[in-house]
Structure 1
Amino acid sequence: MVGPRLWEVGSLAPRALGLREVAMPFMDDLYEATRQHVLLAVLDGDAALLVERRSSRAAVPVQYRVGDRLPLHMTGVGRLLLAHAPAELQERVLRGEVGGRSDDPPPQPAALRRELAEIRRSGVGVINRRRPAPVVSVAAPVWDPAGRVAAALSIVVPAGGASPRTIEPAVRAAARAVSRGLGAPAVGRPGPSAG
């Protein structure tokens, strides 16, 4: 009998297969450079569906597995996808109508609204989580040929390890490369200007 998780991942095969095939070499490069978690997720309903993960046993512990549905307001890939999601979904998350796991804190609407605006402005999402282990996640958008965000690519590192500023260029470059591989016309949006 096919379990629900396997069925769910399988049902996304036509959409996720091309994305995964294009993304894997770049995810492998990020993994080799960091030896930490590299995640690829897509928006699926009211959650971020993890479609691929590269990890080392020595990496910081996380509870994410391929096929997991991650809460949009609690994860780096989730917040990046939420920042580019339809306004109706954003509002439902901000009102606390879209649940995460039972032990996840509810969203703080004003702070989350500011963060989503900053993600759209800067083109990258950074999240610091304290549970279940202290981690920092840096996520960048993967764009599709129509100029929409197709996925989020992130690196998850231990808090206090590498600075998000040092990780961000690598995540951005990998996400741009995946976007080009998918046929995105104008790859992504520029990040904040220096100076």
Structure 2
Amino acid sequence: MLDAIGAAPAGLSATEVSRRTGMPLSTAHRLVQTLAARGGLERQPDGRYRAGLRLWEVAASAPRASGLRDTARPFLEDLYEATQQNVQLAVLDSGAALVVEHFATRVAVPTASRIGGRLPLHASGVGQVLLAFAPREEQDAVLAGSAGALHRPDDHLAEVLRRVLAGIRRTGVAVAARTMPLPALAVAAPVVGRGGQVVAALAVVLPTEETSGPAYVPAVVATARGVSLQLAGAPMTLPGRAATGAARRVDGGTARGR
């Protein structure tokens, strides 16, 4: 039921909830009324229900997102101030890149991402980074199209994506152009947690006509390395030799240049 309501920004009536979820109408009425009474849903004047602030309050306390956001936010703010472009932080969740932090200016390229929004693993910078370091079975599911990410099984597309992911693992950086849901160019890098595993990805998202995407790599990598060091509490190396080298080039200097 929450999935159905979350996918409908304008809200749903109890009847629409029943129809979309397949649950009996009486059950849908009872559940939406119970959640509304507790603040989980908010009833609109037109009788539709939308997600309530109580859900946001509970979700904001989720340890995986809240601890990561608190640690990463100062670094992301610096990257945002330096680039004046969209900055994203995302984690792998249920076959998608779940955006847990997002900064943007009025003049930045429009994107479909928002905090709590989901981006496709195969067609976004943060998604490709997360997929590159995901368990093999999850990679295989996306590559085979069974997770819906490729929309249809396609051996050629799967092979192209497999080479892209191998390059990301080798360099520790993704420079990804996409046309859906909106045109954009993303420069992304992995964030490593205390156990040495990739726990998130961060990216700068630029207009597709931006030709200096690679020039953002050192700043993005340095930001990811800073978050990783803070999470780990000790010096460590990000995946990819090139990423490590890029991070060293901006260490002791500034991540504010392009």
Pair in the same fold by TM > 0.5: yes
1:78, distance to aligned residue in structure 2 (A):
0.5
d(CA) in 2 for partners of 1:72, 1:13 = 22
- The 3 A distance-change label for structure 1 pair 146 and 73 is same
d(CA) in 2 for partners of 1:18, 1:12 = 9
Which position in structure 2 is the counterpart of 1:191? 241
User: Is the 8 Å Cα contact of residues 146 and 184 (structure 1) preserved in structure 2?
Assistant: no
1:69, distance to aligned residue in structure 2 (A):
1.8
Within the alignment, does 1:142 sit opposite 2:201 as a pair?
no
- The 3 A distance-change label for structure 1 pair 172 and 66 is same
Which position in structure 1 is the counterpart of 2:115? 66
Which position in structure 2 is the counterpart of 1:29? 78
User: Is the 8 Å Cα contact of residues 50 and 66 (structure 1) preserved in structure 2?
Assistant: yes
User: Is the 8 Å Cα contact of residues 100 and 115 (structure 2) preserved in structure 1?
Assistant: yes
The count of aligned residue pairs is 191
d(CA) in 1 for partners of 2:223, 2:113 = 21
1:189, distance to aligned residue in structure 2 (A):
2.8
What is the TM-score normalised by the length of structure 1?
0.89
Specify every segment of 5 or more residues in structure 1 that has no aligned partner in the other structure, as ranges. none
Which position in structure 2 is the counterpart of 1:157? 206
d(CA) in 1 for partners of 2:178, 2:197 = 27
1:70, distance to aligned residue in structure 2 (A):
1.5
1:67-86 map, 5 Å: 67-86=116-135
Within the alignment, does 1:42 sit opposite 2:102 as a pair?
no
The CA deviation string for residues 2-59 of structure 1, in whole angstroms up to 9 with x for no partner, is 3299848807721111110111111111111111100000011211110000011111
- The 3 A distance-change label for structure 1 pair 6 and 70 is farther
User: Is the 8 Å Cα contact of residues 40 and 151 (structure 1) preserved in structure 2?
Assistant: yes
Which position in structure 2 is the counterpart of 1:174? 223
Name the stretch that deviates more: 156-165 or 143-152: 156-165
1:10-29 map, 5 Å: 10=59, 13-29=62-78
What is the TM-score normalised by the length of structure 2?
0.68
Within the alignment, does 1:129 sit opposite 2:175 as a pair?
no
Which structure is larger by alpha-carbon Rg, 1 or 2?
2
- The 3 A distance-change label for structure 1 pair 111 and 12 is farther
Q: Secondary structure at the match of 1:62?
A: coil
d(CA) in 2 for partners of 1:91, 1:178 = 29
- The structure with higher relative contact order (CA 8 Å, sep 6+) is 1
Runs of 4+ in 1 over 2 A off after TM superposition: 1-9, 104-107, 130-134, 189-194
Equivalent position amino acid for 2:237 in 1: V
Equivalent position amino acid for 1:145 in 2: R
Specify every segment of 5 or more residues in structure 2 that has no aligned partner in the other structure, as ranges. 1-35, 41-50, 247-258
